[in-house]
Amino acid sequence: MIVMSVATALVLLALVTQAGVVAVQRAFPPQGRMIEVDGAVLHVVEIGPHDAGLPIVILHGASSNLEVMRRPLGDLLAKDHRVILIDRPGHGWSTRARREDSTPQVQARMIDEALHQLGIDRAIFVVHSWSGALGARIALDHPGRVAGLMMLAPVTHPWRGGVGRYNEIIATPVIGPLLAYTITLPLGYFVTDSGARSVFLPQTMPDGFVKDSATPLLLRPREFIANACDLVTLKEAVTAQAPRYGEIKAPVTIIAGEPDKTVKTDIHARPFAATVPNAKLIVLPDLGHMVQNAVPDLVKTEVEAMIATMAPAQAAAD
């Protein structure tokens, strides 16, 4: 009787989840074009003038999608620059072909191929949080693609501890999908808002952020599993690539906050800046994790300062 009751409850939750997926996808449809890469599809949104010099590629962190970076930062940069926003593999409307697509190494290769298909040779990369490791990996493995790297509260080095027991469980075969396809979406609706608020601290989350950033897309089972895999494999990935950071030749600017509890500046931004030859570190005493929301004007200023330093060198080359 108990087994039958549990099975019935799981079936009902699975049906609720599937209905929720349909509703979420109708509420937050794709806004850009789809590019086939390595057996998967990447969702890419281009904004701003197409012929405005060096393009800017913006990559989001964990538990999010390109809309998190679009407002206000992407829209602000797009006033004067060509901006390419990409849903990382498995997030938003991008897919992934294999479990291994969770690593910065593989995602760097996929993004490099997508930019090749877009006809983009070199770009400024703006990366946030989890994508700090991805941006660093692109600069290491595809240096010709990276004209400059703007890192916002980046993850770059191994840390003590894990990434949350629930992520480890969701990333586990069989049990993870069972939970993701039954309880994650129904429960997620009750905790998404509070979870997002905590990431902004000590800043206040903007009104309407969860809706404007299409955050409910994360609750879909396939994306929730992909996000968990990204987080669970990240520590091993940065442990492997951190010894190579001295090879990065592109100019790098890092903006981080002293009170950031999500990605600690002393563990990531400071040692990265100390290792990379051409790095500039800006640490603000009252800045939390969501740099792109808290100080978008500063990010734009630093991106344009980076581009300005490249202009004389480009002119000399011409």
Cβ neighbours for 28, distance < 8 A, ≥ 6 positions apart: 67, 214, 216, 217
pLDDT at 138: 98
Q: What is the reported pTM? A: 0.95
The reported pLDDT for the residue numbered 295 is 98
Q: In whole angstroms, how far apart are CA 94 and each of 63, 117, 126, 174? A: 14, 16, 19, 23
pLDDT of residue 1: 64
- Residue 186's pLDDT is 87
Q: How far apart are CA 101 and CA 95, in angstroms?
A: 9
**pLDDT less than 50: residues of the chain:** 315-318
Structural domains of the chain, with CATH: 2-317 (3.40.50.1820)
